[in-house]
Structure 1
């Protein structure tokens, strides 16, 4: 009976999501409308779309697991989430205005507009694809754990992974069919279950823990220190992972594209104002559940399973709702990541290497298939892990943050050049890869700084140095000045064709 309730609840949730997408379906007039939903959504939908992409299902698992394993340092998620919202406010005007003026639909489009360079687009996309794989792995693991717990352990790991891939695959059918409009609508439904109902569940679990001998004074020794139990982290480690997370937030193509779906630059700023309190309350509630539950022996033995262990103690109905929250948070993130991999491979790698190629659709499908298969194999090999899965998320951030200097300096600094951006990314990603192999968690002789942050500093320095030594031509300088003039204008611009500005 418990299995019927659990799986029945999941099926009902998926049906509700699909029905909502079908009822809201509107024909797209062109590809731009398909990719950006006609830039028509207001702050409420924008908020849920952003949160559903930014806070994936693994928040309940690997990030909660860090709080259950190491204590207060797990709350770094809350800190970098709020910093990411502040960065959204800063990005709102230039990104939206350039996007609307030149009909941009993706992060790659914006980089092509800003730098007018095929190599920039190629290198950035390659880094994006590589860095995305760990997040897809975490998404598949999140779904697999849901299926495993709702089956009371009767589902073998390989079947749990296969079922996860099937669910994502079926979900992608509607993503392709409805485009960005369907994604935004589904983000709203999924977000209600993941972050609103999920918060209510977390608060209920907090009450249960506090009234059953799991208070703040019962957590293991060292949990209140940012250095972690046994002072395993360096004094700069918490700062490093927080900055890496905050600066890397808008480097993810699937998150960045959400800026192009807003109705106006003011809408984006309102979205930030709504997202901040929602993320603050949600992450605080979930992480505190994990923090308090650390005094439970079962959680201490399997910290990454803390959400399911505690919810299971409250009964099958609560466990089912808790599982649906994980699925709701996962679908928006992993589906968008898989779609981004296909689009980047087709448009930004093959499309740059072989301009005018007609194999783009096939390349996208092959890229999605190969990436999903590789991710599924990695997820299967690590499914038995009961702690430390947040390491996969941290690894991916060490890579993706190498886009930050190219993206952020390109948006906020006029003098950034294409040559500086390309060499900066190559230096940064190479250095991050080497340092990550040598120091998987932190660099002890640098006070706990991470590989990605150190590499990003050299990345940015390379970009600035080359841009200063080899400045823009007069023609390029004038073109960039014209872009900046759009940002300073009193009103958002009207849409024009971007053919003369973009490098396809």
Structure 2
């Protein structure tokens, strides 16, 4: 136990050390606080995106899916890889509009595109509400981490309280430094959580030193492990399609993912970061799932699939390897919770509180953002404590995912199409979100009568129909058409980036000179 806790303490100390060493000594502007002054290169963008996408529960829930249900777990690879590709195609307009109009959030972009504060408010509220269950689950994951780290000697309450204290201390720096603190630590946390874990999976699968599993074990898995829902069983033919489709279009609907575009130093950095993200994410997740599938041959893993990652670590290398495995999950959990809390605090300050009638100064915006982060985190901790043994909490996570994809209709159509209007966007999002939440509550998994479609897919269909119908019925003025046309014209040309008063630490070749046309 002391060895594992010691490894976690060393990792945690390095993270705090990085934050302390890279903190800005002068007071930052809100643009620096929220998007890092749009100054980061492709590797920072890629690692930050991966940290915001794969939570620590990937090593528990998704690994358990592969270890328990086999190749079904690979559906996450399909939607994550295809979804990240969307960022590549959105990069030019999203980043140039962000730099030109000083956009700081996803709600900012939608509000600008449709020239409507209600659009901005609705989009931001959907994002904030949808992220909350994942913050709760992330905090609960810390409780699980310390349960394994203590060798199951600590009571559940103690494990959860220790986990909450750890993330609260870490969040002090997120509140203080904003996006800069996330970017700087995401690189280190990402190396541990995704690069080291991928290498570890590869070593385990090679069967070095006679480990319990290997690539050869993949040839011995049972036939049931090679089936996916819809290939027999009670699921209909559209279930897997629904999961992948929802994941693909929803990948950039999460505010944490979308905001990474704005931190980049230019369009090239976003696109290069996208390529790196695909390689990092695809390589890591593929190896993790193959390890899980191969582990179906281990009786101990088959008995408890969600604990499979920890079971393999201990079976293969004892205490030290178990400690490394727990540290990897710890790193992934920390990065995901950090990103979620930061972006929600930003959107509360920038999208909900700040307005044209009540314009806040940079100092006021940062105070509201910091207070919002603290409040959001405390609320998440309280709910995590109260619902630690609540099995139905998974339903909230499902509702949140089916809900967040309702941003896809105005977001994607708004970026790639000049049509539509604010009334259509608001009506579509509200109706789609409501339908998705109600259906997902009634049918948490799938809707059997619709071939196992999910509530989110039905919601998106309603969203799209309402968006197009209301937009067509209410029309768009000539002035609005001209404004939108001017926006699309802005996206055709490189945009000037303002000078950052304090140089940001960057790898060679990624720094952005003040005033340079970049993207």
User: Could you say whether these structures have the same fold, taking a TM-score greater than 0.5 normalized by the shorter chain as the test?
Assistant: yes
Alignment partners' CA distance in 2, 1:353 and 1:298: 60
The residue that corresponds to 1:499 in the other structure is none
Q: After superposing the two structures, state which structure 1 stretch, 97-106 or 337-346, moved more.
A: 337-346
CA distance in 1, matches of 2:422, 2:440: 27
**Partner of residue 429, structure 1:** 433
Q: From the superposition, tell whether residues 269 and 28 of structure 1 become closer, same or farther in structure 2 (CA, over 3 Å).
A: farther
8 Å Cα contact 1:10-1:324 kept in structure 2? yes
User: What's the CA shift string for 1:236-262, capped at 9, x where partnerless?
Assistant: 211111111111111111221111111
CA pair 275-363 structure 1, distance change in 2 beyond 3 A: closer
**Residue number in structure 1 paired with 2:87:** 88
Secondary structure of 2:423 counterpart: helix
Pick from 312, 315, 332 the counterpart of residue 329 of structure 1: 332
8 Å contact from structure 1 (residues 100, 494) kept in 2: yes
Unaligned runs of 5+ in 1: 497-504
CA change 1:211–1:166 in 2 (3 A) is: closer
Q: Which of 256, 259, 262 matches 2:258?
A: 256
Give distance in 2, aligned partners of 1:13 and 1:364: 24
Question: How big is the shift at 1:291?
Answer: 1.5
Compared with structure 1, are the counterparts of its residues 450 and 471 closer, same or farther at alpha carbon in structure 2 (3 Å cutoff)? same
Q: Measure, in 1, the Cα distance between the counterparts of 2:180 and 2:395.
A: 33
Between 1:360-369 and 1:52-61, the stretch displaced more is 360-369
Shift of 1:10: 0.7
Preserved CA contact (<8 Å) 1:120 1:418: yes
| SS, match of residue 153 in structure 2 | coil
- Are residues 1:462 and 2:466 paired? yes
2: CA distance, partners of 1:20 / 1:414: 44
Question: Deviations for 1:322-364, whole angstroms, at most 9, x for unmatched residues?
Answer: 1111111111111221233333344433446994688946555
Compute the RMSD of aligned alpha carbons: 2.4
Among 318, 322, 325, the alignment partner of 1:319 is: 322
SS of the equivalent of 2:243 reads helix
> Equivalent of 1:19, from 17, 25, 30?
17
Aligned to 1:32: 31
Instruction: Output the TM-score relative to the length of structure 1.
Output: 0.91
CA contact (8 A) 2:67 2:308 kept: yes
Question: Which residue is 2:218 aligned to?
Answer: 216
Which of 224-233 and 401-410 deviates more?
A: 224-233
C-alpha spacing 1:338/1:164, structure 2 compared with 1 (3 Å): same
Q: Is the 8 A contact 2:111 2:119 kept in 1?
A: yes
Residue matched to 1:475 = 479
In 2, Cα distance between equivalents of 1:175 and 1:17: 12
CA distance in 2, matches of 1:31, 1:365: 17
How far 1:472 moved relative to its partner?
A: 1.8
**2:389 equivalent to 1:381:** yes
Give the Cα separation in 1 of the matches to 2:150 and 2:206: 27
* Kept after mapping to 2: 8 A contact 1:486/1:493: no
Query: CA separation in 2, counterparts of 1:194 and 1:417?
Result: 42
**Contact residue 52 and residue 329 of structure 1 kept, 8 A:** yes
Shift of 1:217: 3.9
Separation (CA, whole Å) in 2 of partners of 1:363 and 1:185: 22
Structure 2 length-normalised TM: 0.88
Q: In 1, Cα distance between the equivalents of 2:155 and 2:55?
A: 24
Cα displacement string for residues 175-215 of structure 1 (whole angstroms, at most 9, x for unaligned residues): 12222122101000100100111111222332349954671
**What displacement does 1:229 show?**
8.5
The 2-side partners of 1:16 and 1:462 are apart by: 50
Pairing 1:359-438 to 2, within 5 Å after superposition: 360=368, 362=371, 365-378=374-387, 380-382=388-390, 393-438=397-442
Name the structure 2 match of 1:244.
Answer: 246
List runs of 5+ in structure 2 lacking aligned partners.
500-519
1:289, 1:200 → 2: CA distance?
A: 12
Tell me, in whole angstroms, the C-alpha distance in 2 between the residues paired with 1:363 and 1:412. Answer: 33
Larger mean Cα displacement after TM superposition, 91-100 or 271-280: 271-280
Q: Provide the C-alpha distance between the structure 1 equivalents of 2:356 and 2:488, rounded to a whole number of angstroms.
A: 30
1:267 deviation in Å?
A: 0.8
Separation (CA, whole Å) in 2 of partners of 1:356 and 1:39: 22
Q: Specify whether residues 24 and 120 from structure 1 end up closer, same or farther in structure 2 by C-alpha distance, changes over 3 A only.
A: same
How has the CA–CA distance of structure 1 residues 322 and 229 changed in structure 2, closer, same or farther, with 3 Å as cutoff? farther
Distance 2:234 2:65 in 1: 13
* Equivalent residues of 1:73, 1:228 under 8 A apart: no
Distance 2:394 2:91 in 1: 30
Q: 2:443 is matched with which residue?
A: 439
